[in-house]
Structure 1
Amino acid sequence: MLIDSARELKARLTARLAEGFPPVVASDLGGRVWTRPAIGLAPVSPGRVHLAIRVAARADAEILLTGLDDVVRAEVDVRVTGPILAQASPSAGQLQQRTRPLVPGLSVGHPAVSAGTLGGFVRLGGRLAVLSNSHVLAAAGAGAAGDAVLQPGPADGGTPADRVATLAAAVPFTARANRVDAAVATVDEGVGADPGAVPGGPLGTTVPDGYEVEPDEEVEKLGRTTGHTRGRITAVEVDGVAVQYDDGVHVFDDQIEIEGLSGAFSAGGDSGSVIWRSSDRAPLALLFAGSSEGGSTGAGLTFANPLSTVLEALGVEWVSS
């Protein structure tokens, strides 16, 4: 419908709400309290819009639209949002605490390391597993399948009593150029997990191919040390990234480079964080290394493996929620 017509309809429906319409009692909705819809305009083409109605449950919209003819109802864009909550990102301190159920961003680690970040969740042979770096979950190859994974990691007070997962697989480093620093650990029986508990809601279900990732895209991550940060991709397909580990230097090819929009995008302990694209929340990369200098702000650069490469190397499937 034309914008002016949509605004007129919006005003009419808003007035009905202001007058206390409709007179609803809980029993009419099966014991559920009616929630007032949000009403706006949704562009569909130049000069034309649909009336945007956002509701906690579809029944709420039906109550509001009672009495409107079919022609008008065809111009309405109804979307069910569920309850709308104030969004707050967990602080770094909260992410370093013992937390159940498991969620992305938490402190985790092999008993022989300090601590890194639980990046996200995947399926391995039908079982739910946590995804992070090899140097976080597998002590950069020193660990073995069957080893414990602790939450929080040892640096944050984790002990054998905090075991939450079992190391299942890690991609070994090679003397030649590496592609990923990645490992998975299957979630132990009785340990709950909420893969979609990410600031802003669950990430996308589709992981773009590494070659579909473009420079200048804005991205976000949730990490154990610096929490929820935003940045932008400054380079892709980066070869020859030399990373210092406890056992020496390992070189990585085909990496993604990121810098923070305001200050550092990451710091030590954020390794293992999943990085997602801000525009559509598509999961893009697995953070594994960074510098303290460089970038346009001088706050350092972050390096990450394309997530599609990580999933292929481990033979796992991404789980968003």
Structure 2
Amino acid sequence: MLIDSARELKARLSARLAEGFPPVTASDLGGRVWTRPAIGLVPVAPGRAHLAIRVAAADDARVFLTDLDDAVRAEVDVRVTGPIVPQSSPTPGRLQQRTRPLVPGLSVAHPAVSAGTLGGFVRLDGRLAVLSNNHVLAASDAGAVGDAVLQPGPADGGVPADRVARLAAVQRFTGSRNRVDAAVAVLDEGVGAEPGRLPGGPLGTTVPDGVEVEPDEEVEKLGRTTGHTRGRITAVEVDGVAVQYDDGVYFFDDQIEIEGLAGTFSLGGDSGSVIWRSADRAPLALLFAGSSEGGSNGAGLTFANPLSTVLSTLGVEWVAS
């Protein structure tokens, strides 16, 4: 309809809401309280718009639309939003709890590991899988394909009944130079996932092939221990990064170095977090290690594998939402 007509209809329906509706009994809505819809405009063409109706539940829309004629309904865009709440980043405490459906940032681990972070989701041979580090999902090469993955990790109370996935692919460490510390585990039947539930919304669908040298490029991550933090890339293509694992030191080439903007960017347990670029939310890297010293603020440095290298090495596809 013409945008002026849409505005007129919006005003008329808003007035109808203000006057109130006939009583709705509890049985009509399964015991819920009816929630008034939000009303706006959806541009559909130059000078034309549909009416936007946003409701908390489908039953709310049914109550509201009952008396509208078919011509008006054809010009209405109805969407069920669920409860609308203030947006805030999940706290580390919430990330360490048992959570279903699975979302990025949660505590996750192999049964022989304390806890790391569920970085994000990928597809392996068409199956949805969680992405994290070798040392988180495969116990630093000690695990075998088919091993259980728990959410939360054992350090956060995870037990065998908390299994959500099974190890499906892992890049083993080598005695020479490594490129990634990465593994994936395919979700068990019936385990749900919401890949796009991150602070600020879903990440981009395209993973950059390498990270360009951009001064003070700002990035973010969501990790099990420190939650949502912001940092900046301080070096790329870093070779010879020596990482001390329980069974020895392994060296990594072509890594990304990051420091926090306000204090530390990551701590133990944040391993496996996916790091994204603040400017466009492009997923850039997989966090795997860090130091307690260094950086311009003295709060330590974080090291991460380029995500494009991780995906190509494991033969998986990034899932953004």
Q: Structure 1 residue 302: deviation in Å?
A: 0.9
The 8 Å contact of residues 141 and 173 in structure 1, kept in 2 or not, is answered as: yes
Pairing 1:118-197 to 2, within 5 Å after superposition: 118-190=118-190, 192-196=191-195
Pairing 1:29-44 to 2, within 5 Å after superposition: none
Q: Superposition RMSD on alpha carbons, in Å?
A: 4.5
How many Å separate the matches in 2 of 1:281 and 1:174?
32
* Local SS of the residue matching 2:309: helix
Report sequence identity in percent.
Answer: 66
How many Å separate the matches in 1 of 2:36 and 2:161?
46
How many Å separate the matches in 1 of 2:292 and 2:240?
15
Structure 2 counterpart of 1:251, which letter? F
How many Å separate the matches in 2 of 1:318 and 1:201?
18
Pairing 1:3-152 to 2, within 5 Å after superposition: 82=81, 85-86=84-85, 87-152=87-152
How many Å separate the matches in 1 of 2:277 and 2:35?
32
After superposition, what is the alpha-carbon deviation per residue over 1:30-67, rounded to whole angstroms, capped at 9, x for unaligned? xxx99999999xxxxxxxxxxxx9967xxx9xx9xxxx
Q: Structure 1's 213 and 194: CA in aligned 2 closer, same or farther, altered over 3 A?
A: farther
Q: Structure 1's 275 and 81: CA in aligned 2 closer, same or farther, altered over 3 A?
A: farther
User: Mean alpha-carbon deviation: is it higher for 117-126 or for 213-222?
Assistant: 213-222
How many Å separate the matches in 1 of 2:127 and 2:235?
32
Q: Structure 1's 302 and 259: CA in aligned 2 closer, same or farther, altered over 3 A?
A: same
After superposition, what is the alpha-carbon deviation per residue over 1:257-295, rounded to whole angstroms, capped at 9, x for unaligned? 111111111100000011112222221111101111111
How many Å separate the matches in 1 of 2:252 and 2:154?
27
How many residues matched?
A: 311
Structure 2 counterpart of 1:196, which letter? P
Q: Which residue of 1 aligns with 2:249?
A: 248
Structure 1 counterpart of 2:274, which letter? V
Q: Structure 1's 142 and 250: CA in aligned 2 closer, same or farther, altered over 3 A?
A: farther
Q: Which residue of 2 aligns with 1:288?
A: 288
Q: Structure 1's 193 and 219: CA in aligned 2 closer, same or farther, altered over 3 A?
A: farther
Q: Which residue of 1 aligns with 2:58?
A: none
| Gapped regions of structure 2 (runs ≥ 5) | 1-13, 25-32, 41-51, 56-60, 66-76
Q: Extract structure 1 runs of 4+ deviating beyond 4 A.
A: 17-20, 33-40, 53-56, 80-84
| Gapped regions of structure 1 (runs ≥ 5) | 1-13, 26-32, 41-52, 64-77
After superposition, what is the alpha-carbon deviation per residue over 1:291-311, rounded to whole angstroms, capped at 9, x for unaligned? 111112111111111111111
Structure 1 counterpart of 2:232, which letter? I
Q: Structure 1 residue 206: deviation in Å?
A: 2.2
Q: Which residue of 1 aligns with 2:70?
A: none
The 8 Å contact of residues 196 and 203 in structure 2, kept in 1 or not, is answered as: no
Structure 2 counterpart of 1:195, which letter? E
Q: Which residue of 2 aligns with 1:7?
A: none
Q: Structure 1's 300 and 287: CA in aligned 2 closer, same or farther, altered over 3 A?
A: same
Using structure 1 for the length normalisation, give the TM-score. Answer: 0.73
How many Å separate the matches in 1 of 2:80 and 2:242?
44
How many Å separate the matches in 2 of 1:279 and 1:237?
18
Structure 2 counterpart of 1:233, which letter? R
Q: Structure 1's 252 and 82: CA in aligned 2 closer, same or farther, altered over 3 A?
A: same
How many Å separate the matches in 1 of 2:164 and 2:37?
41
Q: Structure 1's 36 and 117: CA in aligned 2 closer, same or farther, altered over 3 A?
A: same
* Local SS of the residue matching 2:311: helix
Q: Structure 1 residue 208: deviation in Å?
A: 3.0
* Local SS of the residue matching 2:101: coil
Are 2:278 and 1:278 aligned?
Answer: yes
Q: Structure 1 residue 316: deviation in Å?
A: 0.6
How many Å separate the matches in 1 of 2:82 and 2:235?
38
The 8 Å contact of residues 202 and 320 in structure 1, kept in 2 or not, is answered as: no
Q: Structure 1 residue 196: deviation in Å?
A: 3.2
Structure 2 counterpart of 1:300, which letter? G
How many Å separate the matches in 2 of 1:39 and 1:210?
42
How many Å separate the matches in 2 of 1:189 and 1:161?
14
How many Å separate the matches in 1 of 2:19 and 2:301?
56
Q: Which residue of 2 aligns with 1:66?
A: none
Pairing 1:300-319 to 2, within 5 Å after superposition: 300-319=300-319
